[in-house]
Amino acid sequence: MSAPVLEVRDLTTVLNLAQGPVEVVRGVSLDVGAGETVGLVGESGCGKTMAMLSVMGLHPQPPAEIVAGEVIVGGRDIRKLSEEERRMVRGAQVAMVYQDPMTSLNPLMRIGDQIGEVLVAHGRSADEARNRTVEILGQVGIPQPRRAAESYPHEYSGGMRQRAMIAMALALHPQVLIADEPTTALDVTIQQQIITLVTDLQQAMGMAVIWVTHDLGVVARVAERILVMYGGHIVERGPTDQVFRDPEHPYTAGLLESIPRVRGAERHPLRQIPGAPPDPTHQPTGCPFHPRCPNAVEKCVSEMPPLTERGGADHAEHWAACWVPPEEWVA
C-alpha cells in the first residue's frame, strides 16, 4: 500500500439510548493509501454508515457519540481539531457521497448554488466557485452544465442527482472519497454508469475511494482491498482476490456463498446466511457472529476473537477475527 492518506485507529461510536450507551462501531481500524480503492462490505445494520459518518465527524449527535479512537488525515488527528478546522478537512481532504441523497442535497436550493456554497466556504471567490461548479458538473457527465447548475434537485432524475452529489463531493479535489452505497437506489445500467464514472474520476484526480456496499460484485470489480464488517467490528480484511479465494472468516465465506458465481463449468447454488445481524442493543457475548455461525465452538460464545494476521507468504496483509481456522470449519 502507498503512504496512507487516511488512518483510522480503534474508532468506537456509541448510541446513547434510554437504556445506556450501545456500541455500534467497535474498535474499527483501517488505512487507505493514496489513490487506492477499498471496499467496505457487510449486511444491513453492521455499522458501515455509522463508521464512515464517524470518520467524517458527521455521526448524528445525539444519539451517536464517538467515545474512542483516532482519525488521522495528513498526519493530524482530526478529532482533536476545532469544528471549524474539521470543516476545512471535510470536503478538501476527505469527502463523502451519502447513502441518502437528501442528506447532502437541499431541495430548496439550485444545484449550482449548493456546490458553489461549499467552494466559497473553502475560500474560493464567487467567480472561481461559479466556474469550478460548471466544470465539475461537466466532469460528472451532466449535460449542459451551465444550464443544469440553475436547476433544483427535483428537476434531476435519480441518476443525475447521484452525479450532482458526486460533483459536490469532488468539487474541492479531495484525497479520499467515501462513497456510501451510492448505487443501490438506481437501476442496474445507471449503477454501472456511476461506478464507471467514479472509477474514471478517481484515475483522473488520483484520489482514493472507499466503496461502502452490500454488493460483493462491485467490490470484486473495483476494490484492491476489502474490509468486512459485522456487528460493528471489522472481522476480516485483506487483498480482494485473496479474501475472495480464501476467506478466513465464516461470515465472509457466507457472504461469498450468497453471490452468484460460476467456477469452471460448475454453477454454485445461492445460499443465504440464516438469521440476521445482531441488534446493537442485544449484542451477543463473545464473537458477534456466533449465533449464526456453523463453525462455532464453546470459546466463541464467551470470548471475542482478536483480529490477527493469517499465516503464509501468500497471505500477507490478510487479517481475520475468528477462533477456528478454515481447515477446521464444518461448513
Contact string 98-117 vs ligand ATP (x = CB under 6 A):
-x------------------
CA distance 247 to 234: 14
Cβ burial of 34 (10 Å; 0-12, 13-18, 19+) is middle
| Least Å from the CB of residue 304 to ligand SF4 | 8
| Least Å from the CB of residue 181 to ligand ATP | 6
Cβ burial of 151 (10 Å; 0-12, 13-18, 19+) is middle
Which residue, 141 or 231, has its beta carbon nearer to ligand ATP? 231
3-state secondary structure of 182: coil
CA distance 289 to 303: 12
By CB under 6 A, is residue 233 in contact with ligand SF4?
Answer: no
Member of 4, 231, 238, 280 binding ligand ATP (CB under 6 A): 280
CA distance 293 to 110: 50
Contact string 165-204 vs ligand ATP (x = CB under 6 A):
----------------x-----------------------
By CB under 5 A, is residue 49 in contact with Mg ion?
Answer: yes
Q: Which of the ranges 39-47, 138-146, 152-160, 218-226 carries the binding residues for ligand ATP, by CB under 6 A?
A: 39-47
Find which of ligand ATP, ligand SF4, Mg ion, none residue 290 binds, CB within 5 to 8 Å per kind: ligand SF4
CA distance 169 to 203: 16
By CB under 6 A, is residue 97 in contact with ligand ATP?
Answer: no
Contact string 246-285 vs ligand SF4 (x = CB under 6 A):
---xx-----------------------------------
Which residue, 99 or 295, has its beta carbon nearer to Mg ion? 99
Which residue, 133 or 295, has its beta carbon nearer to ligand SF4? 295
Which residue, 119 or 229, has its beta carbon nearer to Mg ion? 229
Triad 163, 169, 171: Cα angle to 5° = 95
CA distance 307 to 27: 11
Contacts of residue 171, defined as CB under 8 A and 6 or more positions apart, other chains included, come to: 91, 115, 118, 119, 132, 133, 136
> Helix 188-205 crosses helix 158-170 at what angle (to 10 degrees)?
20
Which residue, 98 or 289, has its beta carbon nearer to ligand SF4? 289
Find which of Mg ion, ligand SF4, ligand ATP, none residue 305 binds, CB within 5 to 8 Å per kind: ligand SF4
Residue 132 and residue 64 in contact, taking contact as beta carbons nearer than 8 Å: no
Alpha helix (H) residue ranges in 48-177: 48-56, 83-92, 101-104, 111-121, 126-139, 145-148, 158-170
CA distance 239 to 310: 12
Residue 236 and residue 249 in contact, taking contact as beta carbons nearer than 8 Å: yes
Amino acid occupying residue 78: I
Which residue, 63 or 326, has its beta carbon nearer to ligand ATP? 63
Site for ligand ATP in 206-225 (CB under 6 A): 214
Contact string 297-316 vs ligand SF4 (x = CB under 6 A):
---x----x-----------
177: which 3 cell numbers?
Answer: 472519497
Contact string 301-330 vs ligand ATP (x = CB under 6 A):
------------------------------
Member of 170, 234, 296, 319 binding ligand SF4 (CB under 6 A): 296
**Interface residue list for ligand ATP (CB under 6 A):** 15, 24, 42, 44-50, 60, 63, 99, 181, 214, 280
